[in-house]
Amino acid sequence: MRYYLIAGEASGDLHGANLIKGLREEDPGSCFRAWGGDLMQEAGATVVKHYRELAFMGFVEVVRNLRTIHGNFKKCKEDILNFQPDALILIDYPGFNLRMARWAKQHGIPVIYYIAPQIWAWHQSRIHQIKASVDQLFVILPFEKDFYQTYDYPVAFTGHPLLDIVDAYWQKSPVPPVLSPDPRPVIALLPGSRRQEIAALLPLYLRVLPDFPDYQFVLAGAPAIPDAFYQSFLDRAPIQPRLVRNQTYDLLSGAHAAMVASGTATLETALFRVPQIVCYKGNPISYLIARAVIKVPFISLVNLILQRPLVPELIQHHCTVETIRTSLSSLLTGPRRIQMLSGYSELRHLLGEPGAALRASREIGAFLRQKGATKP
Question: Do 359 and 249 belong together in one domain?
Answer: no
Beta pairing class for 255-261 and 276-280: parallel
Instruction: Give yes or no: residues 200 and 330 share one domain.
Output: yes
pLDDT tens-digit series, residues 303-314: 999 999 999 999
Give the range among 18-27, 168-177, 265-274, 321-330 with minimum mean pLDDT. 168-177
Model pLDDT, residue 133: 97
Residue 18, amino acid: N
- Bridge partners, residue 3, by sequence: 32, 87
| Rounded Cα–Cα distance for residues 118 and 98 (Å) | 12
pLDDT greater than 90 at residue 106: yes
- Confidence grade of residue 31 (pLDDT, cut at 50, 70, 90): very high
User: Do 174 and 299 belong together in one domain?
Assistant: yes
- Does the structure show a pLDDT above 80 at 375? no
Residue 224 has pLDDT above 90, yes or no: no
Q: Which residue range forms the structural domain that includes residue 241?
A: 167-350
Residues 69 and 211 in one domain: no
Say yes or no: 116 and 179 in one domain.
Answer: no
The C-alpha atoms of residue 358 and residue 354 are separated, in whole angstroms, by 9
Residues 143 and 77 in one domain: yes
315 in the same domain as 182: yes
Domains identified in the chain, total number: 2
**Amino acid 107: pLDDT:** 97
Length of the chain counted residue by residue: 376
Coil vs helix vs strand at 46 = strand
Residue 376 has pLDDT above 50, yes or no: no
The number of C-alpha atoms within 13 Å of 88 and in the hemisphere containing its C-beta is 30
The CATH number of residue 280's host domain is 3.40.50.2000
Instruction: Please tell me whether residues 225 and 340 are part of one structural domain.
Output: yes
Let me know whether 174 and 154 are in one domain.
no
pLDDT the model gives residue 68: 73
Is 186 found in the same domain as 136? Answer: no
Q: Note the pLDDT of residue 371.
A: 81
pLDDT value at residue 321: 97
pLDDT band at 239 (very low <50, low <70, confident <90, very high): very high
Sign of the alpha-carbon torsion through 17, 23, 26, 27: negative
Q: Are 129 and 191 part of one and the same domain?
A: no
Are residues 332 and 269 located together in one domain of the fold?
Answer: yes
Q: With the C-alpha atoms ordered 193, 167, 155, 30, is the resulting torsion angle positive or negative? A: positive
Name the percent of the chain lying above pLDDT 70: 93
Backbone angles phi, psi at 59, to 5 degrees: -65, -45
